[in-house]
Structure 1
Amino acid sequence: MSDPTELLTIGQLARRTGLSVRTIRFWSDSGVVAPTSRSAGGYRLYDAGAVARLDLVRTLRELGLDLDTVRRVLARQVTVRDVAEAHVRALDAEIRTLQVRRAVVRRVARHGGTTEEMRLMHELARMSARERRRVIEDFVHATFDGVDPDAPGAHIAQAMRTLPAELPADRTPEQVDAWVELAELVNDEAFRARARAMAVAGARVDREPGEPGEPGEPEGSRAAAAVDPERVAEHARGAVRDGVDPGSPEGRRVLARIVDPGLTAAERARLADTLATFTDRRVERYWQLLGVLNGWPPVPSQVPAFEWLIAALRASATP
């Protein structure tokens, strides 16, 4: 056991702690671990308690604390617990920043892009909760501007705003990636135009069954309401999985299980056009990304099945 009255030179202290003489001298000059006294020749001498203090300083420094904070801990102006709690908060903030950077760099690595696009994505990813919500609000407003709020399809606007007020503190890498992709998506002019076209068309054709249509409304729009999504999921998805050609005899048999076989060729063509208006992979991706951010259970993609149905309708409408 060390003699508590024993005094150590800086070299001996370095050997006891495994720290370099240079580091101990720097910390000593900074007032973190001051020498107990000096020798007749002016050399620094430290008591045995300096070993424990230096071990604590090393630990706190490895955790990222600055020397001023370390000095306050050693002077008992703050407790180690207080410092640890503050440091946890700082580390959490740093982790969130690193997650954002990783998401941006990973997206650029996957899809390419210019330096300017990378800068823009990084700015979008770093937005506050209020700024993120404003981005979504602006997108939804532009999409549904002028659409009758009482139209049956207008309720979609509210659903499109269901962005969480804040990503959870223990957000997953997938949630960070989802926000980066969503922010990029809603700022894409082509996507905004496509969503707008769907909203306008939805306000025009999304009515209760049997309700009279507007003058000039495509006849196929009312027929589209008769398409059962469950039948599409059951039969068209299976056709996609099995690689059934939409224009083949087998494709026609599958089609007959989904829509009324008595539809004329013109009705099939109009129905295909109407379904195509509301079938878009990027719009579906918007909902998928919202699901990731809100922690909703994943839902299988419906678009490939509807794309197959559209192709089968058009093939069967061709003489």
Structure 2
Amino acid sequence: MDATTLYSIGELSRRTGLPVRTIRFYSDAGVVAPTTRSPAGYRLYDLDALLRLELLRTLRELGVDLATIQRVLDRELSVADVAATHADATDVQIRVLQRRRSVLRVVARGGSSPEEIKLMHRLTQLSGEERRRLTDDFVEGTFGTSGTADADPAAVAMVRAAIPDLPDDPSGEQVAAWAELAELVGDEDFRARMRRTAGWQAAGRTLDIESAAGDELTEFTRQKVTEAMESGIDPLSDRAAPVIDDLVHRFAEAFARTPDRDFREWMARQFEEAHDPRVDRYWRLVWIVNGWQVVPNLIPVYPWLIQALRNGRP
């Protein structure tokens, strides 16, 4: 094979693997024009046409559109530039497919309603910029825009430092957590709870009830609730009753109060100033979405206590 060799359209088809009708289409479109014609009027192509067809086939298999290929063949674009652009586009497609796979894994485990599936799919399609806009709106809607007089800088910094960001190849658990987070941060009641508790958490301040109860009772309470949580005791179950009854009586004695329903509610409100079950849920979801390891001794114990106090027992 040399530069003087001419090939029929059938020979080009054999050498490139492209159907004759496809080569004819490219020829009619001017992408690969025939070099000359035989005395009988059949199209003949030279070595340059063969090489152009091979490059065209390769680029088409890589997903490059015909208009771009034409510019490459006409030397208006380099193959390197086109490859870089399509590599970037392929990266985006891969991320979309990875997230779609994660949603399908969640669905395959069962328990997701059609509405939840639709929500998860829509949220995973958001770009990084759109996801950041969602979380920025949450921070600004909760604490006010930067410079607002009543915004707690420490609280804002704490929340911003742990902004959830879905990875490119999320697990099913991360997709489900992200969908739950997206709904949570748009809820006005939750924003009010976050606004109320974040300042306490960021400053690490001691609650008034802790100061008044003393270090010994405070540490005893943390220990007992931690043991209950580690044992898998649901705060709303009968197994939680002995634990919470004992703590209520100890606090009632310390504050010279009657351990009745009103006192339980008072205790719950005191602990809720810095620890709220929905806010605790938010931080757990952030840990999951960001792929952070959950450190057991950093898990708040008071949300469990608050739920148990409000379980409706006299």
Pairwise same-fold verdict (TM > 0.5): yes
Residue aligned with 1:161, SS? helix
Alignment of 1:182-197 (within 5 A): 182-196=181-195
Structure 1's 43 and 282: CA in aligned 2 closer, same or farther, altered over 3 A?
Answer: farther
Distance between the aligned counterparts of 2:141 and 2:99, measured in 1? Answer: 22
Whether the 8 Å contact between 2:99 and 2:168 is mirrored in structure 1 is: no
Whether the 8 Å contact between 1:7 and 1:47 is mirrored in structure 2 is: yes
Alignment of 1:225-304 (within 5 A): 227-228=218-219, 231=223, 234-240=226-232, 245-248=239-242, 251=243, 263=254, 265-266=258-259, 269=264, 270-276=266-272, 278-292=274-288, 296-300=292-296, 302=299
Distance between the aligned counterparts of 1:291 and 1:12, measured in 2? Answer: 61
Whether the 8 Å contact between 1:125 and 1:180 is mirrored in structure 2 is: no
Residue 141 of structure 1 pairs with residue 147 of structure 2 = no
Distance between the aligned counterparts of 2:122 and 2:302, measured in 1? Answer: 34
Distance between the aligned counterparts of 2:162 and 2:205, measured in 1? Answer: 27
Structure 1's 185 and 310: CA in aligned 2 closer, same or farther, altered over 3 A?
Answer: closer
Structure 1's 127 and 98: CA in aligned 2 closer, same or farther, altered over 3 A?
Answer: farther
Identity %: 39
Distance between the aligned counterparts of 2:58 and 2:151, measured in 1? Answer: 63
Distance between the aligned counterparts of 2:102 and 2:129, measured in 1? Answer: 14
Cα distance, 1:39 vs. partner? 1.4
Q: Which amino acid aligns with 1:65?
A: V
Cα distance, 1:60 vs. partner? 0.5
Structure 1's 8 and 299: CA in aligned 2 closer, same or farther, altered over 3 A?
Answer: same
Q: Which amino acid aligns with 1:240?
A: G
Corresponding residue for 2:168?
171
Whether the 8 Å contact between 2:142 and 2:192 is mirrored in structure 1 is: no
Structure 1's 224 and 294: CA in aligned 2 closer, same or farther, altered over 3 A?
Answer: farther
Residue aligned with 1:110, SS? coil
Distance between the aligned counterparts of 1:292 and 1:93, measured in 2? Answer: 23
Bigger mean CA offset, 128-137 vs 51-60: 128-137
Render the CA deviation track for 1:96-141: whole Å, top value 9, x for unaligned: 5556677788889934439997898579667447634531332332
Corresponding residue for 1:216?
none
- Scaled by the length of structure 1, the TM-score of the pair is 0.67
Distance between the aligned counterparts of 2:306 and 2:175, measured in 1? Answer: 34
* Aligned CA-pair RMSD: 4.9
Structure 1's 102 and 283: CA in aligned 2 closer, same or farther, altered over 3 A?
Answer: farther
Q: How many pairs are equivalent?
A: 295
Whether the 8 Å contact between 1:124 and 1:183 is mirrored in structure 2 is: no
Distance between the aligned counterparts of 2:231 and 2:175, measured in 1? Answer: 35
Whether the 8 Å contact between 1:179 and 1:293 is mirrored in structure 2 is: yes
Bigger mean CA offset, 44-53 vs 111-120: 111-120
Render the CA deviation track for 1:152-189: whole Å, top value 9, x for unaligned: xx73332112256x969x73325676555433321123
Cα distance, 1:84 vs. partner? 1.0
Alignment of 1:87-166 (within 5 A): 87-96=86-95, 110-113=112-115, 121=123, 127-128=129-130, 131-141=133-143, 149=152, 155-162=154-161
Structure 1's 306 and 220: CA in aligned 2 closer, same or farther, altered over 3 A?
Answer: closer
Whether the 8 Å contact between 1:9 and 1:43 is mirrored in structure 2 is: yes
Corresponding residue for 2:22?
23
- Scaled by the length of structure 2, the TM-score of the pair is 0.67
Residue aligned with 2:80, SS? helix
Corresponding residue for 2:12?
13
Distance between the aligned counterparts of 1:119 and 1:245, measured in 2? Answer: 39
Bigger mean CA offset, 72-81 vs 108-117: 108-117
Residue aligned with 1:282, SS? helix
> Structure 2: any 5+ residue segments left out of the alignment?
none
Whether the 8 Å contact between 1:179 and 1:289 is mirrored in structure 2 is: yes
> Structure 1: any 5+ residue segments left out of the alignment?
214-218
Distance between the aligned counterparts of 1:46 and 1:71, measured in 2? Answer: 17
Whether the 8 Å contact between 2:120 and 2:176 is mirrored in structure 1 is: no
Distance between the aligned counterparts of 2:302 and 2:291, measured in 1? Answer: 26
